[in-house]
């Protein structure tokens, strides 16, 4: 298994843990407060920048690792996980579903798909 695939699986596992934990693990590590989320940059157009960056990184790793052999599967998985993890916040205590976060997740995935598609198109020429 390539280093990219291993890194993708590690990051994917970390995302799942961070998303389903009732409270903010990162907020506790940075601010010593489970209810405060760290913010890398300001949100843009009502979309969570943190979520966009996170899912962009996860998706780029997943797409680089699996695009050529499991293109359909990895794209569907990334879109599915970006939606399901946010919807789970409806039932996880001390977490809240937010459309800005959902749109950030999806935007990160879609931007990475576009970037990898362009990269592969130029690479094949």
For 66-119, write each residue's pLDDT tens digit.
988 898 999 999 999 999 999 999 999 888 899 999 999 999 999 999 999 999
Cβ atoms < 10 Å from Cβ of 4: 15
Give percent of the chain with pLDDT exceeding 90.
Answer: 61
Range of the domain at 19: 3-124
User: 100, 48 in Cβ contact below 8 A?
Assistant: yes
Cβ atoms < 10 Å from Cβ of 124: 6
For 1-42, write each residue's pLDDT tens digit.
799 999 999 999 999 998 898 877 766 677 676 666 766 677
Bridge partner list, 47: 44
- If one counts the domains in the chain, the total is 1
* Residue whose entry in the numeric block shows the structure tokens 């205590």: 93
Cα 9 to Cα 5, 15, 16, 97, distances in angstroms = 6, 10, 11, 25
User: 65, 8 in Cβ contact below 8 A?
Assistant: yes
């Amino acid at each position: 298994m390539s280093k990219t695939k291993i890194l993708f699986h590690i990051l994917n596992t970390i995302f799942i843990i961070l998303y389903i934990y009732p409270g903010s693990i990162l907020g506790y590590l940075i601010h010593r407060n489970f209810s405060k989320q760290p913010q890398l940059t300001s949100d843009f157009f009502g979309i969570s920048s943190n979520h966009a960056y996170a899912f962009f990184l996860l998706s780029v790793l997943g797409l680089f690792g699996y695009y050529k052999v499991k293109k359909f599967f990895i794209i569907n998985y990334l879109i599915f996980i970006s939606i399901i993890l946010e919807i789970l916040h409806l039932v996880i205590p001390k977490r809240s579903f937010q459309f800005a976060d959902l749109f950030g997740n999806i935007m990160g995935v879609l931007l990475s798909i576009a970037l990898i598609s362009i990269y592969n198109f130029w690479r094949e020429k």
